[in-house]
């Protein structure tokens, strides 16, 4: 069983993560939109939008993406 300190550390780490979308890889198949439990993605004709605030970092989208266009990274890496 995890201690309160460990849980706090995990929560702090999760807060620092974001979804990174590689537009060059994405073929707009829509699988991530279907699998996301929090409706983070919205699909348009040529692009996706991502509402990072809704994301719970479950990683379902990055696992299902057939072309590895989605990854979960630190905010620092995404903003670089
Ligand atoms: S699952 Fe991957 S390829 Fe499909 S729309 Fe999402 S990011 Fe693009
Ligand atoms: S990690 Fe989970 S909640 Fe976040 S965008 Fe992907 S599927 Fe949605």
Output the ligand 2 site: residues, CB below 6 A: 19, 35-38, 40, 55-61
* Atom in ligand 1 nearest the alpha carbon of residue 21: 7
Q: Where are the domains of the chain?
A: 17-79
C-alpha torsion angle, residues 60, 54, 76, 45 (rounded to 10): 70
Give me the pLDDT at residue 45, please: 93
Predicted pLDDT at 3: 83
Query: What are the pLDDT tens digits along the chain (80 aa)?
Result: 778 877 777 666 666 789 999 999 999 999 999 999 999 999 999 999 999 999 998 999 999 999 999 998 877 665 55
What fold does the segment set 17-79 form as a domain?
Alpha-Beta Plaits (3.30.70)
Compute the distance from residue 10 Cα to the ligand 1 centre, in Å: 27
- Whether 31 contacts 64, CB under 8 Å: yes
In angstroms, the CA 4 to CA 10 distance is 10
């Amino acid at each position: 069983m995890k201690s309160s300190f460990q849980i706090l550390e995990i929560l702090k780490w999760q807060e620092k993560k974001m979804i990174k979308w590689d537009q060059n890889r994405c073929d707009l198949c829509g699988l991530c939109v279907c699998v996301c439990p929090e409706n983070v993605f919205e699909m348009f004709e040529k692009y996706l939008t991502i509402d990072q605030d809704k994301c719970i970092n479950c990683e379902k989208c990055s696992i299902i993406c057939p072309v590895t266009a989605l990854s979960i990274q630190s905010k620092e890496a995404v903003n670089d």
